[in-house]
Amino acid sequence: MIVGVIGLGLIGGSMALDLKRRGFADMVLGVEKDPVNAAAAKTIGLVDDVVPFEDCVRRSDVVVISIPVGAAVKLLPQVLDIFGECEGEKVVIDVCSTKSQIVRSVHYHPLRRRFVATHPMAGTEYSGPWAAMPNLFDGRACIFANTEDSDPKAVKTVEELYGVLNMRPLYMNADNHDVHTAYVSHISHVTSFALALTVLDKEQDEKHIFDLASGGFSSTVRLAKSSADMWVPILTQNRDNVLHVIDTYLEKMNAFRDAIADYDEEKIESLIHDANRIKKIIR
Residues 118 to 147 in contact with a second copy, rule: CB under 8 A: 121-125, 140-141, 143
Quote the least distance from Cβ 56 to a second copy, whole Å.
Answer: 28
Q: What is the distance of C-alpha 269 from the center of its chain?
A: 35
- Could you tell me which of 96, 38, 101, 45 has the C-alpha nearest to residue 237? 101
Quote the least distance from Cβ 127 to a second copy, whole Å.
Answer: 11
Q: Could you give the CA distance from residue 76 to residue 96 in angstroms, rounded to a whole number?
A: 12
Number of residues that bind a second copy (CB under 8 A): 90
Asked whether position 261 contacts a second copy by CB under 8 A, the answer is: yes
Find residue 120's DSSP bridge partners: 142
The interface region with a second copy, picked from 24-32, 34-42, 149-157, 188-196 by CB under 8 A, is: 188-196
Q: For a second copy, which is the closer residue by CB, 166 or 185?
A: 185
The interface region with a second copy, picked from 19-27, 50-58, 149-157, 253-261 by CB under 8 A, is: 253-261
Binders of a second copy among residues 162 to 181 (CB under 8 A) are 170, 180-181
Q: For a second copy, which is the closer residue by CB, 86 or 212?
A: 212
Helices (H), the chain: 10-21, 35-44, 53-59, 69-84, 100-105, 152-164, 174-181, 187-202, 206-212, 215-221, 228-237, 239-261, 265-276
Binders of a second copy among residues 19 to 38 (CB under 8 A) are none
Question: What does R_g of the chain's alpha carbons equal in angstroms?
Answer: 21
Q: Which residues does 139 contact at the CB level (< 8 Å), separation at least 6?
A: 166, 167, 168
x-marked contacts with a second copy along 220-239 as a string, rule CB under 8 A: xxxxxxxxx--xx--xx--x
Q: For a second copy, which is the closer residue by CB, 118 or 192?
A: 192
Asked whether position 39 contacts a second copy by CB under 8 A, the answer is: no
Q: For a second copy, which is the closer residue by CB, 83 or 193?
A: 193
The interface region with a second copy, picked from 3-11, 40-48, 148-156, 190-198 by CB under 8 A, is: 190-198
Q: Which residues does 225 contact at the CB level (< 8 Å), separation at least 6?
A: 125, 126
Among 2, 44, 131, 194, binds a second copy (CB under 8 A): 194
The H or E element that residue 119 is part of is strand 115-120
* Backbone phi, psi, residue 37, to 5°: -65, -40
